[in-house]
Amino acid sequence: MGKMKLQLMLVLWPLLAVGFATVVAGGRSPEECRAKGFDADSLLCGTCPKLEEATSAEVGQECLECCHSPYRSVVLSATQVAFMRNNGLSDFVTNRKQKFARGVVEFEMSPQQQEQAKLILVPSSSDQEGGRAETVRITHWSANDIEDYIAQFFPRVA
């Protein structure tokens, strides 16, 4: 019985961790954002770095305070073989994951036998596209590819 509980905890823990990790806007009200020229309902956080490049750091920060992501978090899932063979994935998990807010990017080792690596975007609400997660195969992606893809939905913090 104890072994079964431990196995269940090992399976459920990553799901629970992802379930409690949320990314929210910087705290400005929709009215404050409109006054700054941002539509908080449609402003995706991935556009803020581009806006900052085109304007200023101040405008980029204001954007981050008004933006949202359609996703709550990202789960990177890979078999042990895929993780060992894909230098981009192992580099991202080891050295670049911390560029995003804590709890945004999680990694889990998949028990499957077939070599695979995937990125799962977890919706921020259950009503978005039927509450389904979006899955992308990343078996041969570089660390830059993974980071840039995630940055479309979540701002880098470091």
Q: What is the pTM of this model?
A: 0.69
The secondary structure of residue 156, as a DSSP letter, is: B
Query: First CA to last CA across the chain, in angstroms?
Result: 44
Confidence band of 20 (pLDDT split at 50, 70, 90):
very low
User: What pLDDT score was predicted for residue 6?
Assistant: 36
Supply the pLDDT for residue 13. 36
Domains and CATH numbers, the chain: 30-66 (no CATH), 71-151 (3.40.30.10)
Q: Which H, E and C letters describe 74-125, residue by residue?
A: EEEEEEHHHHHHCHHHHHHHHHHHHHECCCCEEEEEECCCCCCEEEEEEECC
Evaluate whether 135 touches 148 at the Cβ level (below 8 Å). no
| 88-114 pLDDT per residue, tens | 999 999 999 999 988 899 999 998 878
Q: What is the pLDDT of residue 17?
A: 35
